[in-house]
Amino acid sequence: MPLPPPIRVAAVGAGYFSRFQYRAWKRIPEVALVGICNRTLDPALAFAAEFAIPGAFDDLGRMLDETRPDLVDIITPPETHLATIAAVAARGIDIICQKPFCRTLAEARQAMDIADQAGVTVTIHENFRFQPWHREIKRLLDEGALGEVYQATFRLRPGDGQGERAYLDRQPYFQTMPRLLVHETAIHLIDTFRFLFGEAEEVFASLRKLNPRIAGEDAGLILLDMKNGVRCLFDGNRLADHKARNRRLTMGEMVIEGQRGTLSLDGDGGLTLRPHGENEARVVAYAWLDTDFGGDCVYGFQRHVIDHRLGRGHLENTGRAYLTNIEIEETVYASDAERRRIAL
């Protein structure tokens, strides 16, 4: 039998992180990258040459009409998302959109209304839940390895936020974002906590800015009380670091405590499980690739999207479901401003 035609993917954006996405697309045999668009043409031409993409454009409408993709990967800043989604949805093309998803909750809701009315699927490129250690943690929790779970703590410690040159080497726009720690980074762990433990019902947050060189907050505590009784603490500080060969691999450390023991994630992706009442922890062996970003989670996410298009499994990270993350984010900022717990 002849092979089915490849899924035609076009992408918008040529920034720092986008290279991970292009690499991952090239590794998925069912995909053909057919076009790349950027607001300035030279970076699009350079990426097209590097990744053997046949079309490079600086006009989105022209790229969509000439390449006729099945799926568009939007890898651009939040301020571009609404207009880009509207243009793609108007042509009936499914969408992947980079997080942070739009600038505000209202804008994200508007984008989803446009997509829903056009009958297209929007999936948010939220890749932390696809990091292999989080998938393995989820498997262990579902197997009951900890019994009743009491609480989980994630200590974000990338160590990249000190001094006048904070973030300039990779993502310089971090310096001017009015909302940084939660909007750009903690949203990953909000989604991960929901993936692992279900939905939240109450939020308390205390945020602060330690580096006067930047515009937004860079440290803080977020407490999520989940509906199933688990209490999740995000303890973030972008100035402090943690022990790891690559401090951007896990971005920090996690401890999950339950009736049967304690499960710990270290900065090198290692998992250990210490049974309750014992002093020695055993290593949890699991397979993963130390490739590109976050244990190859970009590939894991994109492979998941393509598998769903091929009829394999339930789609995670839909845009409509992702709105809950943004609702929690907005509640975090409100809790900090009002200095009180807020029910969701």
Note the pTM of the prediction, 2 decimals: 0.95
Domains and CATH numbers, the chain: 7-125 (3.40.50.720), 129-293+320-343 (3.30.360.10)
Which of the two residues, 16 and 111, has the higher pLDDT score? 111
CA separation for the pair 126, 96 (Å, rounded): 10
Which of the two residues, 170 and 234, has the higher pLDDT score? 234
Beta strands in the chain (DSSP E): 7-12, 31-37, 56-57, 71-74, 94-98, 122-125, 149-156, 200-208, 219-226, 231-237, 252-258, 261-265, 271-275, 282-284, 342-343
pLDDT > 70 in the chain, percent? 99
- Predicted confidence (pLDDT) per residue in 15-45, tens digit: 989 999 999 999 999 999 999 999 999 999 9
- The pLDDT of 265-272, averaged and rounded, is 98
- Predicted confidence (pLDDT) per residue in 284-331, tens digit: 999 999 999 999 999 999 999 999 999 998 999 999 999 999 999 999
